[in-house]
């Protein structure tokens, strides 16, 4: 399992727009072949901070996500709304063990 945690910090004046754009990206992403989870988390302490939990069956499926029209549209649309650059950290999902 290929997992990426993406950290996003949005300018407060673009919060509603960001959530709307992210919802559209989420809805398309969960329908992708190879997608296992695509969770969007908003900080309870700072509503301008988000974590995306993106789990795909493998690195190829994660790479394919970054080439989809919905992702590219989302990426370009939200870029000017960021308070700082997004940070994606890749992980290997150990559990649950999907190979069983």
DSSP at 45: S
Show pLDDT as tens, one digit a residue, over the chain (100 residues): 999 999 999 999 999 999 999 999 999 999 999 999 999 999 999 999 999 999 999 999 999 999 999 999 999 999 999 999 999 999 998 888 776 6
Structural domain contains residue 92: no
CATH of the domain at 72: 3.30.70.100
Q: State the pLDDT at residue 94.
A: 87
Structural domain contains residue 20: yes
Structural domain contains residue 94: no
Q: State the pLDDT at residue 95.
A: 87
Q: State the pLDDT at residue 100.
A: 61
How many structural domains compose the chain? 1
Give me the domain span that covers residue 40: 2-86
Q: Which long-range contacts (CB under 8 A, 24 or more apart) does 93-100 make?
A: 93/1, 93/2, 93/3, 93/55, 94/1, 98/1, 98/36, 98/57
pTM (global) more than 0.85: yes
CA atoms within 13 A on the CB side of 4: 19
Structural domain contains residue 100: no
């Amino acid at each position: 399992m290929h997992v990426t945690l993406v950290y996003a910090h949005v300018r407060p004046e673009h919060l509603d727009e960001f959530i709307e754009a992210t919802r559209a990206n989420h809805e398309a992403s969960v329908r992708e072949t190879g997608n296992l989870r695509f969770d969007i988390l908003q900080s309870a302490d700072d509503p301008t901070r988000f974590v995306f939990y993106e789990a795909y069956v493998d690195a190829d499926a994660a790479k394919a996500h970054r080439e989809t029209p919905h992702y590219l549209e989302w990426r370009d649309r939200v870029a000017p709304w960021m308070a700082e650059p997004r940070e994606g950290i890749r992980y290997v999902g150990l559990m649950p063990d999907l190979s069983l």
